[in-house]
Amino acid sequence: MKISGAESQIMDALWRLGPLSADGVVAAVGEAHGWAPGTVKTLITRLLRKKAIEGRRDAGGYFYRPLVTRGDYVQSESQNLVDRLFDGEVAPLVAHFAEHRALTPKDIQHLKKLIAELDDE
């Protein structure tokens, strides 16, 4: 499932804040981005069609909640990036960041630890 950048802002609000009404989503996301309520509701509708979220009537009103976990979304988006830009290989991605963005000693330590853990498996 492809979630646009704008739609991901709606998803992020739902992941962070839990079930929200349309007004709650507008308050959480719309104001920060300067989006009108209609824009936010259009994004909600798109996410409903994609089955990324669901809406349910509750005693207090109608609330939306994510059907996709943040972890699954991050995994899918990460894999799409690696596939699209690096032919599915992770090493060139890491090399790209190492060459074009200064890695901190903490970054390097973390990468070494991850590699060591993978070697132990």
Per-domain residue ranges of the chain? 5-66, 89-121
d(Cα 91, Cα 39) in Å, to the nearest integer? 39
**Cβ neighbours of residue 92 under 8 Å, at least 6 residues apart?**
86
Can you give the pLDDT at residue 103? 83
Class of domain 5-66: mainly alpha
pLDDT band at 7 (very low <50, low <70, confident <90, very high): very high
Q: Which two tokens stand for residue 74?
A: 């991050």
pLDDT at 101 over 90: no
pTM for the model = 0.80
pLDDT digits (tens, 9 = 90+) for 30-87: 888 999 999 999 999 999 999 999 999 988 899 999 999 999 999 999 999 999 999 9
Contacts of 34 (CB under 8 A, 6+ apart): none
DSSP state of 58: E
